[in-house]
Amino acid sequence: MTDASAALTPLKIVACTEADDGTISQQDGPGTSISLLINPSQMKHERRTCFVQRKPMGDTGSGRKFSHMQPGKLSFSPVFDGSGVVPRPKDSTMPVEVEDQLQSLSKVIYAYKGVVHEPSIVQIIWGKLLFQGRLTSFSVDYTLFRPSGSPLRATAALAFDSYTSNKQAELEAGTSSPDLSHLVLVRDGDTLPLLCEKIYGDGRYYTAVARYNGLRQFRSLTPGMELHFPPLE
């Protein structure tokens, strides 16, 4: 059972598109996002580093050399209920029937997109969590049924691999240098002065960055939006 604060902040999954320049933005319109009625009770966020398998000859215990970073992994199991027991927010667009709820989820995370020839990249947003990735596993366990056989409750096991565009990865690789361009994915709690302090070492550049990105309300950033931080001249 979720607490009151969780009920007020539903986990949201939004389908995204990747532009030719590597910019990733949230899609807009019907069927492009879903907000859960029941937040997951558990969530696993895994990060892993890999090292070369072969130890150098004569190694005295210094350890294997670093090889690469694997994509982060996020997994959780949301519950879908059609019994009417779970209160529905007034602005909820979630269908009533469990099968329709799962179909709405599938359209966002699993449906094949003919234009890009693959399912959508998605952003998973909940509290301070902002995870950008692609679906790797989707299974459903039906746990309650009507006498007719139609499901009243189901649990979906979801797993995602993190995703970063090649362009964004190149920019993030040089985040320690103020002389390079940076593409930043805004997370909950981020502010322009804090981001400028992190990238440039001086938070006073926030007005210039706001103008560069065409921001009018730069004091309130939306999690999931992407901001470009140009090199210092």
Residue 142 has pLDDT above 70, yes or no: yes
Structure tokens at 213: 């990105």
Same domain? 154 vs 172? no
Residue 78 has pLDDT above 80, yes or no: yes
Kindly report the pTM of this predicted structure. 0.68
The predicted structure's pLDDT at residue 2: 44
Same domain? 16 vs 124? yes
Q: Rounded to an integer, what distance in angstroms lies between the CA atom of residue 78 and that of residue 154?
A: 9
Same domain? 198 vs 101? no
CB 34 within 8 A of CB 13: yes
Assess if residue 56 is contained within a domain. no
The predicted structure's pLDDT at residue 87: 87
**Looking at per-residue confidence, does 3 or 136 come out higher?**
136
Any idea which of 27-36, 138-147, 158-167 has the lowest mean pLDDT?
158-167
Task: Pick the last residue of a domain from 124, 140, 163.
Answer: 163
Task: Give the structural domain span for 42.
Answer: 4-50+64-163
Same domain? 145 vs 77? yes
Same domain? 198 vs 215? yes
Give the closest residue to 47 by CA, choosing from 135, 123, 131, 128.
131
The predicted structure's pLDDT at residue 1: 41
Total domains, the chain: 2
The predicted structure's pLDDT at residue 196: 86
The predicted structure's pLDDT at residue 145: 97
Residue 49 has pLDDT above 80, yes or no: no
pLDDT-based confidence at 34, cuts 50/70/90? very high
Assess if residue 57 is contained within a domain. no
Task: Pick the last residue of a domain from 163, 192, 221.
Answer: 163
pLDDT-based confidence at 224, cuts 50/70/90? confident
Same domain? 140 vs 172? no
Same domain? 113 vs 197? no
Same domain? 159 vs 187? no
Same domain? 180 vs 112? no
Task: Pick the last residue of a domain from 124, 143, 163.
Answer: 163
The predicted structure's pLDDT at residue 116: 67
CB 107 within 8 A of CB 198: no
CA 37 to chain centre: 18
